[in-house]
Amino acid sequence: MMHQDSGNHWGKDEFGRLLDMIKAFGFTCFEYWLEPTLYKTALKQDGMYSEFIETMDEVNELAHARGLKVKYISSPNCIGHEWYFACPNDPEDKKMILKLWSHWAKALKGTDFVGIFPGDPGGCNRNACDHNTFINLALELGEITLRENPGATIELGTWGTPFSGWGDDMAHVKDWDGSWKMLLEGINEINVGGCHIWNGNPDRARKAMEDFIRRLPEFPDDAIVGINLGFSPDADPTVGGDAREYVREVAKLRRVSSWDYSVVEGELIVYPHWRLPRIFSRRREEMTAAPYYGAMSYTMSPKLSHLSMYAAAQASIDPDRNPDLVSREFCGKVFGTQHEMLGELFEAFEVVKGWGHHPRRNWSRQEAHRAYTKIIDHLENADTDKCSLPLFPSPAEYHRDLLWFARMFARLSGPNPDRDAIRKEYWQNCLSIYDKVPMSVDERAESAAKQFSQLFS
Ligand SMILES: [Zn+2]
């Protein structure tokens, strides 16, 4: 979205159309991540910085004209493309953290919600930093936000076990210098197969939440707390345990919203996700556990995830709706009622074992292949001339992309697929933006293409 020469650059027109679409789906707020590479550009105020500010200023106006709110989230201490984890207990680092936070709060004044996100990436356990360091920092950042952007509402993220990356949630790497590189090398040495975060247990979660709930009255009355049903990457009661007792306590003091990240999409492998039953059941679980005020739906592929986004919005409006009927309703609106069965058939795309993959049905290679053949047949006979939803980029492009994926899945589930050719085609269609912009610092795109090409192997 940010790089001029990427071929996928979004300006006012593209954002306006995206907002039209999510408004039609039923969302009330557009949320984006002020990610570390961009976040640091404020120090130099280079071209990308000023252009981004101008665009997002316009996005605020475009959203408000449509009756939508806008929110950005940022993890305040992960800084720059190289992911430097600045330490609030280091005076120089602390100065930089506060300076950047004020820069952005001022520059994006007019944004309705500002999410103070603990990390991933981000956090610190150097110089005795722990979960209380994040709580203290969040208090300071909240004050800065309201000074620069008085109309904003603060959201406090608890993500992790909880507070990702702070104290014992982060792996302890000896003599760590705050660099992502050394952190990664360190965890490979001490914790084979582990992760730099998600190292907390239920005891640590209890300490963190007790301290947080005690301090919560110090935060603004209208602050929202982002807290899931469980302290694990899938919001389950594993790793840091069951969160429901804390959600109920927090809800007595402040509004709560969930930040159930992987239920809709997860990360890495771009494909047309189909997680509808779990999206709806999760919203129902939340509503029975505590008086949730809101939820979020995450995507890294907004030009492909239309069905997931539509379902996620509908699940927040009415969690009791039947997810299969919602999927057919969507496909009826896009491709015409004679092709509404596509909504059901798309479940066969949910075979990629990535983050948040909890499929309702398991598919044999043969049955999946039969489903893909039916999808191809429907899509080849469908058009989107009468599409009644304002899809962005366009219903025709969505149609084309789905057909491309259906054919790829059919090849992968068919006899003797040329997996190397598929890997290259997948890269070209889904990830070739990395041929034009700097590779993400965790370098996961290559493995995504490889994993996709190995489906059904
Ligand atoms: Zn620190």
Q: What is the pTM of this model?
A: 0.96
Distance from residue 115's CA to the centre of ligand 1 (Å): 21
Residues whose CB falls within 8 Å of the CB of residue 289, separated by 6 or more in sequence, listed in order: 229, 244, 247, 248
Instruction: Tell me the domain boundaries of the chain.
Output: 4-259, 325-453
Distance from residue 12's CA to the centre of ligand 1 (Å): 39
Distance from residue 135's CA to the centre of ligand 1 (Å): 13
| Contact by Cβ (8 Å): 261, 298 | yes
Residues whose CB falls within 8 Å of the CB of residue 181, separated by 6 or more in sequence, listed in order: 82
For domain 4-259, give its CATH number from 1.20.120.1730, 3.40.50.1110, 3.20.20.150, 3.40.50.1980.
Answer: 3.20.20.150
What is the C-alpha to C-alpha distance for residues 30 and 137, in angstroms, rounded to an integer?
A: 25
CB atoms within 10 A of CB 271: 22
Averaged pLDDT for residues 112-128: 97
What is the C-alpha to C-alpha distance for residues 167 and 203, in angstroms, rounded to an integer?
A: 13
Distance from residue 195's CA to the centre of ligand 1 (Å): 19
Reported as a single tens digit per residue, the pLDDT across 397-429 is 999 999 999 999 999 999 999 999 999 999 999
Reported as a single tens digit per residue, the pLDDT across 232-251 is 999 999 999 999 999 999 99
Distance from residue 106's CA to the centre of ligand 1 (Å): 26
Mean pLDDT of the chain: 95
Residue 308 has pLDDT above 90, yes or no: yes
What share of the chain in percent tops pLDDT 90? 89
| Contact by Cβ (8 Å): 123, 197 | yes
Residue 4 has pLDDT above 80, yes or no: no
- Which tokens hold the place of 193? 């197969």
Distance from residue 167's CA to the centre of ligand 1 (Å): 8
Reported as a single tens digit per residue, the pLDDT across 181-205 is 999 999 988 877 779 999 999 999 9
Distance from residue 163's CA to the centre of ligand 1 (Å): 14
Distance from residue 453's CA to the centre of ligand 1 (Å): 41
pLDDT at 402: 98
CA 421 to chain centre: 30
Distance from residue 90's CA to the centre of ligand 1 (Å): 7
